[in-house]
Structures are given as structure tokens and as C-alpha cells.
Structure 1
Amino acid sequence: MTDRVTRPAIFAGTPAAGASLSRRSVLGGMASAGALAGAAGTSARARTVAGWDYVVVGAGAFGTWTAWHLQRRGLRVLLLDAWGVAHSRSSSGGETRLIRTEYAGNALYTRWAWESLAAWHELSRRHESTIFHETGALYIYPQDTAAIDQSMALQRVLGIPVEKLGVPDMASRWPRINFEGIAVGVMQPTMGTIMARRSLQTLAADFVKAGGGFRQFAVDPPRSAKARLDAVTAVGGETLSAKGFVFACGPWLPKLFPDVVGDRIVPSRQDVFFFAPPAGDDRFERGNMPAWVDVSSKDLHYGFPDIEARGFKIALDAHGPRFDPDTGDRRVGDRAIAEVRAYLARRFPDLANAPLAETRVCQYENSHNGHLLIDRHPAWSNVWIAGGGSGHGFKHGPAVGRYVSDLVLGTGESVPELALAAHKVHG
């Protein structure tokens, strides 16, 4: 792993996030899962009788990092998920996620991404299997604006390496990209690619090895007539009690809390494509190609080099149709494939006719303004809700886990923009 990343100080207090944050403006040892499930199941069942300090529901990026942070503060924590850590239907599943600090000058998310990068590095260093690939992250813009310079200035104040590039320089460094219609690029050389599913399963294994509990447990919508919640109930009727609860269930939050969350979070269908470069061709592999975001694209295409021989990945940030994570059809249609091939032909012409190696359908869990949603339940004093990742939340997992833990334990200040009251209900 690189030695070039300066570990950021965990900042005192939380900077304001800003009044509005559109999603487009900001994209702008246990060795196996089997060992995890077996050991965790035994631990949880043995300790359920004695009770837990906290139960965290949802083993995605927000939930797993929250459980880890609470445990590091000496608390007994049980992590639950209906299917497993970073499972295929979750918003935290899949192969790769981009980490970058190019956030249109937004101080909160820039700082959280930078803080989180250090934590992802630490997790990667603890294990033989790579968690983070330093591919760099390249943003390409159709116009050079003052906002780009303001964002770069903020990053430089924080000590984040960043450089502005003209088209001739970019074309020389990455000749397989067609920069037609591009005015300027912003390159973040220390950013890159997190192996999503692997990273969370590794973190969960660390959590269990240190004494935490994990169970596959499908939770019914919680109910309580009191000012607190005493227990969660499984679909089969089993109950688990704790002093407090954190629900980090991504696109399932509206189903668990229809009155409190409801349409404050709306899942959307998002298609993902992997194209196979020619045999023996390393021009599109990490080292020769960065992760990238095309701000000039109508659908805000973004993607990754060929990492670990999975193929050249392209995804669209434009929100797809509303999507049910339980019942939604996860097949990619012919029209979507034709449209992404047209984009390839324009921006990556050498891959225009590359075989389609794999497709996936995942989902964003969108808030109306792109901000995360993290707040205490309005009726239950010992329940917290963490979600609204809106397609950019995964990278912030370590910082979110710390933030939620601070709020739960009363040691931190809340960010108003992340509260329930700041999230409008869709009409």
C-alpha cells in the first residue's frame, strides 16, 4: 500500500454541510465468510440471554462501521442482517466503490471522505487481501469554473493531493480516453477503489473476532407504545433486547419505518456494466487507467479500470426508476446496454465493441437533496436511524460509524442537514 497518504486528524466538531447538495453536484483473523457466520452465530446465541448494550440492524457500510466503533468503546454490540454482510441485494454489495474528495467544495463530505480514506487504508494493512486500490480518481469537466478552484483550495487546506490538468496533458497520460467536449480535469492521485463486499466482510470478521456478535436475523417493523424500544422481533417471532438500537438498513428503512422515514428515502434502480478488454491488453488496467467521473455526460457516467480481472466498469449516476430491493427485477435490458455502448464509442472508442462480461442491478437509497439521513427516532429515545447514502455514502462508512457512535453516546454534536427535519417528503 502507498505511504503517501497523510493520516487526517479526526476533526473536533462537525462543519456545516450546506443548505442543498444535489447528487449530481457531488459525484460530480477470520479468513472466510463461513467462519464469520459460524463464530458469530455461536457468540450471539451465547450472549443473548445476558443482553446487549446495542443492536445494530443492517450490515452494510454504515451499520458495520457503527458496530465496530461502538465495540471499540467497550460496548457489547450485536450486528444483524437479514441476508448477510454486504449481500448481493444491499446498496453496499458488489465489487467496487469509488473514494474521492472532489465534493464541489462541500466541507463536511470532503473531510469525511479524507478521514475515511485513512480508515480504509488501516483495514487494508491489517489483512493480506487487498481492500483498497490506489487507482487515482479523475474528474473531467466540460467547463473550467471558479467552483472547481474553490473545491481544490479546500482540499489543499486539508492536505489532500490534487491537481488540475489541461486536455493535452490528460490525452498524453491517458491516450485511450477521448477528451472531446472536455475543458479541464481534476486528478486526485491518492484516491481510488474500495473492494466493497470484501472490505465489509473483513471488517465484520474483525468485529466478531474482538467479541462482537453477528446474526442473520430478519427484523419486523419495530413497535413500542413507550418512549423507548425494548427489543426487536424477527419474522419468526424471536426477540432480541438491548439498551439501544441503530437501524442502518439502507433501502429497507422506508419499509421498517413507513411513518418516520417513508418517502424521505426513495430507492432507485441503477444499472452497472463490466466490459472485457482484449486478451493480453493491459491499457485499461489499474496503473494505466484511473477511476473516473465524466461530469460532461448527461447521465454522469463514471467507472473503474479493470481491477482484479473483473472488467472495465461503467455505471450511470442518473437516477433510475423507483426500485423495490426485495422484488425488483435485476436484469439489465437491451436498451440500457445499447446506450452504454454508445457512450463507450464516444469516450472510450477502443472498447466500443468489447464483449459485455457482466451486468448488475443495484440501487441507490436517495434522499431528496443528496444528504445522508442520520438522526434519533422522534418517538424512541434509544433508537437511531442511519441511511440516505444516495449513491455516494459507502466511502464515508468509517466517518459515519464514528459520527453515529458519538451521537448515540452523547459525545458529539449533530449536523442539522442530516436530520430528519431537513429531509423533505417526496410529493
Structure 2
Amino acid sequence: MIAGVAYDVIVVGAGSMGMSAGYHLALSGVRTLLLDAYDPPHGEGSHHGEPRLIRHAYSGGSTYIKMALRAQQLWQQLEEESGAKLFAASGVINAASADSFKFPSRLKDARSFGVAVETLDAAEICRRWPGFRLPEHYTGMYEPDAGYLFSEQCVAALRKLAVDAGAELLTYTPVNRIEVRQGGVAVHTKNGIYYAQHAILSAGAWFRTLEPFITLPVRSVRKAIGWFNPLVPLYEAGSFPGFTLADAGGTYYGFPSIGGAGLKIGRHDTGHDWTAGEALEPFGRYAEDEGDLRAALENYMPQAAGVLNKGAVCKYELTPDDDFIIDRHPLHPNVLLAGGFSGHGFKFSSVVGEILTELILYGRSSLNLEPFALSRFGAGACVPQPI
């Protein structure tokens, strides 16, 4: 074992996934060190810009549904333990062009797990929520028990409870290099070298800074989001649901106006590539930052297309298939990887932390992790370099 080991696990990247792992590890009595280049929650990762949808009728088979349901349980437990408001049960409507997107397989899988879900035609969607204007050929899948999470409050609650349980957190401590030797892990930072038996790498859009220790098939992408002031009071929290909208031209997601902030909408597809360490171009740098969002509102929720109250940018970390990476390093089994959460991962962070803790403690997870294995990308995809 490497000399000077002070921790059982070092978590590199204490955003949503890393902070959740630190919380679960510390609760299990594991000596845990969390390292982050900033001071979470912060605006340099993928967890800022409140809020985030959480829904349970998921595509991709039973693994995602099981994870979503377990994640919901864990968020509720965290809410009770922290005393903070983390979840709002707004319901979520997924509306799509019937000739482009199909819901039957998702409905079947969801109902087999007891998820409450309804199918609605365009007329019924517009009757229930008059703020929508949908073409007749649209169809919808509504989850009454779904809603949204207040992402920054979630990370703050995980941080407090992790530290209270004994985890150590070092902020403004970027990692320069990682090496594995003598069965342990040495993590080099600007503030010194830290040693542990295991490491969890959860660096989000910043994974490239960990090369050449690991190279993942993940693109970091700049995304634009906006908050628009509705023209009428149809879109307020408490009466309007979270939503997704999809047709052959694009996919969008959004939230009711919370506390007068305005209806929030973002585009899930498209975006501009971003390289870790480069400046993130501000909202408005491209005409489509506001233009795409406003066009979607004008098409489907025209009375929400008022003045832009605020625009912001965030980061996605996209894998080639949009599924996550939760696996061991190809050369070092005592190093776990959690990345590529592809713009739909935040809701799962509560359970991803539990999964990573199970892998550390027991060598396996109670959930099927095969969909998240590195091997699906082929033998040369990660190009790890032994150090």
C-alpha cells in the first residue's frame, strides 16, 4: 500500500455526483476527501441555473426507471434530513409530434414499475394547461408525481450533511495529476499531494483536465437557457407543470415561473463545443441563444414569449449515445469513473452517489450498471495512459 495514506477515498470533482458520493461514503464511515476546483455549489459545472426536472417514465429500459424511482426516494430523505426545500411536485408533461416521437414503450415500462402516467392528446393538454398551443397531431405523456429539483440547494444540502458526517472538503483545489502506485492513489493538486486507497473521478465537463490518466469519449457542450416574462398569468409555479417539447426540429425542456423569475426554457439538442479551461461565451454571443428559445415559445406557448428576464449558459457532458459512464478505470480497478451525464443526469445524482459507495464498499452495485460500462465504446475509446 502506498505510504502516507490518509483517506479511504478521494473524490475528484465535488459537484452533484461527487458531493452525493461524499455524502453516502461519509454516512458509511468511509474516510473521505472531496476536492473541487471551485466552491460548490458554483456556476462552473453543470448544477447551477435552477431548477432540474425529475421524472420516472424513462426511455432506455428498466435500469433508468429503477434509478429514477430510487433517486426520488433519496431526494425525499435528503429533504427531510436537511430541512431544506429540494423538490416541487409540479407534474411533468412530455409533449411531442406523434409522427416523430413514440411513447408506448416508455409507458409500458413505467407502468410495470407502478409509475403513475397518463396519455393525453393535444386538445386535452391545452384544456388542462391553457398556456399551451399544440398542433392536433401532438400527443403527451403526463407524470403527475414528477416535478423539479432545486439543484443548487440539493448540492448545498449534500455538502452540509457530508461534512457533518465526517467528510473533508477542500475547495479551490484543482487537480494537476493522478497516479496509482503500490495499490493506492496519489492525487496531485496545487496545494499538495493527497493519498487514498481508492478514488472517484466525477469531474463533469472538466474531465479533459485529468488526461492522460483517463480519456473519456465525452464532449463538453455550451448550452443556453432563458427565463421569459409571460404575458398572462398562466405559467406560474403551482398551476403550470414542468415540460418537455419535441418535434423533428428540436427538443426543449422547461419549468413554470418560480417566484416571478419567468418561465425557464432550454434546448436539449444542439449547442457549441467547449474545451475545459477556455472562457465560456456568455448568453447572447450567438443569435440562436435567445432565438431558438423564443421560437419554441412562440410556436407552443405564445403567451409565455414575453421579455427575456435573464439568459444564462451551462455545460453538458455528452457521450456518443447519451447514456452515462459509471465504471472502473480500465487499468486501475480502485479508481471509479462517473461522467458523461449528458444533460439528463442531475436527477440521478442522489442514487449515483449511492451506487459509487456500493462499488467502494462491496465491489458491486444492487443496480444493473451494464448500460453505463466503458466497454460499449470499444477497446480503444478511453485510451488510458499508464503512469
Same fold (TM over 0.5): yes
Helix, strand or coil: the match of 1:230?
Answer: strand
Aligned to 1:343: 296
Larger mean Cα displacement after TM superposition, 298-307 or 320-329: 320-329
Aligned to 2:151: 196
Is 1:273 the counterpart of 2:230? The answer is no
Displacement of 1:182 in angstroms is: 4.1
TM-score of the superposed pair, with normalisation by structure 2: 0.90
TM-score of the superposed pair, with normalisation by structure 1: 0.82
Aligned to 1:314: 265
Task: Measure, in 1, the Cα distance between the counterparts of 2:329 and 2:243.
Answer: 38
Helix, strand or coil: the match of 1:295?
Answer: strand
Helix, strand or coil: the match of 2:342?
Answer: coil
The superposition leaves residues 150-177 of structure 1 with CA deviations (integer Å, 9 ceiling, x where unpaired) of 2112212212111111222211111111
Aligned to 2:309: 357
Is 1:139 the counterpart of 2:67? The answer is no
Task: Measure, in 2, the Cα distance between the counterparts of 1:355 and 1:406.
Answer: 47
Helix, strand or coil: the match of 1:300?
Answer: strand
Kept after mapping to 1: 8 A contact 2:11/2:33: yes
Displacement of 1:229 in angstroms is: 4.1
Q: % of aligned pairs identical?
A: 28
Is 1:250 the counterpart of 2:204? The answer is yes
Which amino acid in structure 2 is aligned with residue 126 of structure 1?
A: E
In the TM superposition, 1:214-293 aligns within 5 A as 214-216=169-171, 217-224=173-180, 226=181, 228-236=183-191, 238-258=192-212, 260-262=214-216, 264-278=217-231, 282-293=233-244
Helix, strand or coil: the match of 1:364?
Answer: strand
Is 1:77 the counterpart of 2:36? The answer is no
Kept after mapping to 1: 8 A contact 2:323/2:342: yes
Task: Measure, in 1, the Cα distance between the counterparts of 2:35 and 2:46.
Answer: 16
Kept after mapping to 2: 8 A contact 1:330/1:360: no
From 54, 57, 69, the counterpart of 2:9: 54
Helix, strand or coil: the match of 1:220?
Answer: strand
Kept after mapping to 2: 8 A contact 1:284/1:306: yes
Displacement of 1:234 in angstroms is: 0.8
From 340, 361, 371, the counterpart of 1:409: 361
Which amino acid in structure 1 is aligned with residue 223 of structure 2?
A: Q
Is 1:113 the counterpart of 2:71? The answer is no
Helix, strand or coil: the match of 1:374?
Answer: strand
Where do 5+ consecutive residues of structure 2 fail to align? Answer: 383-387
Helix, strand or coil: the match of 2:179?
Answer: coil
Task: Measure, in 2, the Cα distance between the counterparts of 1:171 and 1:127.
Answer: 38
Displacement of 1:50 in angstroms is: 7.8
Displacement of 1:58 in angstroms is: 1.1
The superposition leaves residues 81-132 of structure 1 with CA deviations (integer Å, 9 ceiling, x where unpaired) of 1102231010122211111123225211111111101111222233443111
Where do 5+ consecutive residues of structure 1 fail to align? Answer: 1-48
Displacement of 1:411 in angstroms is: 4.2
Task: Measure, in 2, the Cα distance between the counterparts of 1:127 and 1:308.
Answer: 22
From 62, 67, 78, the counterpart of 2:22: 67
Kept after mapping to 2: 8 A contact 1:179/1:347: yes
Is 1:381 the counterpart of 2:333? The answer is yes
Displacement of 1:147 in angstroms is: 5.1
Task: Measure, in 1, the Cα distance between the counterparts of 2:283 and 2:131.
Answer: 26
Aligned length: 372
